Amino acid sequence: MTVPTIALNDGTQIPQLGFGVFLVDPDDTERIVSDALEAGYRHIDTAAGYNNEEGVGRAIAASGLSRDEIYVTTKLKNDDQGAKTAPIALQRSLDNLGLEQVDLYLIHWPTPAKDLYVETWKALEELRAAGKTRSIGVSNFMVPHLERLLAETDTIPAVNQIELHPYHQQPAVTAFGNEHGIATEAWGPLGQAKYPLLELPEITAVAAAHGKSPAQVVLRWHIQQGNIVFPKSNSRARIAENFDLFDFELSQTEQSSITDLERAGRVGGDPNVVN
């Protein structure tokens, strides 16, 4: 099964479906990522703050896959923002992953009270030029944060990874991204089980119509929205199920019925106050 790719604004390609390891226990990470790679995933999303980069690296090394077959994202910890500390932090992540280069490096949060994200972004520009990462992007940036980056630096982020699920679709942020060529990545694509998304009739009716699970329907909605998405699971069966999204398609009516669930229902941290 071939996963579609999204063309980024720097000329690179990113698999639209990946596997996330947020809250995956470091002791279990190698096994779980190995299961994901065996299921067909070729895009792994981790972060220094997840404390499981080493397990991701071991799974990649043991997979038998060549480096260019696997797309690897990691993220800069909030405490490592700054012109001097960001390069050290990326090298630490590379050492943890056992890699010479990541495919995508993100500022994890804007942390506006620290007011370091502009100088940090300039450091990421230099890290990309040095070949430490192929692409650079941001995570949890709102429109004012993005506007400032575009005004004060030379590089438009390749992606913005944001909380995005049917109750919280961030239309202003995604519209800004579309206008400026910033691809949208959805974290928490299933709402992190913090509301009964998979039990909503708008979801279960579509699932029944296609003979798919409610989770598959929501993930397919993301794919058709154009989002880059990376569900996570500790279950080998669920990992495989979440990958099985490309043998059905939602109708425009079905797609719209899910989009209409929007209610600004954030379930994660607010980027304006996380510091």
Q: Enumerate the domain spans of the chain.
A: 5-190+227-232
Integer CA distances (angstroms), 133 to 6, 34, 127, in order = 18, 23, 7
Instruction: Report the C-alpha gap between 33 and 4 in whole angstroms.
Output: 20
Each residue's pLDDT expressed in tens, for the chain with a length of 275 residues: 689 999 999 999 999 999 999 988 999 999 999 999 999 999 999 999 999 999 999 999 999 999 999 999 999 999 999 999 999 999 999 999 999 999 999 999 999 999 999 999 999 999 999 999 999 999 999 999 999 999 999 999 999 999 999 999 999 999 999 999 999 999 999 999 899 999 999 999 999 999 999 999 999 999 999 999 999 999 999 999 999 999 999 999 999 999 999 999 999 999 999 99
Question: What integer pLDDT is reported at residue 112 of this predicted model?
Answer: 96
Domain 5-190+227-232 in CATH: superfamily?
A: NADP-dependent oxidoreductase domain (3.20.20.100)
Closest Cα partner for 198 from 264, 261, 268, 270? 261
Instruction: Report the C-alpha gap between 146 and 131 in whole angstroms.
Output: 24
pLDDT digits (tens, 9 = 90+) for 108-163: 999 999 999 999 999 999 999 999 999 999 999 999 999 999 999 999 999 999 99
Instruction: Report the C-alpha gap between 55 and 74 in whole angstroms.
Output: 13
Instruction: Report the C-alpha gap between 158 and 144 in whole angstroms.
Output: 17
Instruction: Report the C-alpha gap between 128 and 156 in whole angstroms.
Output: 13
Q: Which residue has the tokens 């990946």?
A: 18
Question: What integer pLDDT is reported at residue 97 of this predicted model?
Answer: 98
- Annotated catalytic residues are 50
Question: What integer pLDDT is reported at residue 2 of this predicted model?
Answer: 84
Q: Which value, in Å, is the radius of gyration of the alpha carbons in the chain?
A: 18
Instruction: Record the tokens describing residue 169, joined without a space.
Output: 């679709």
Q: What is the pTM of this model?
A: 0.97
Q: Which residue has the tokens 């519209």?
A: 175
DSSP 3-state of 90: helix
Cα torsion 108, 113, 118, 120 to 10°: value is -50
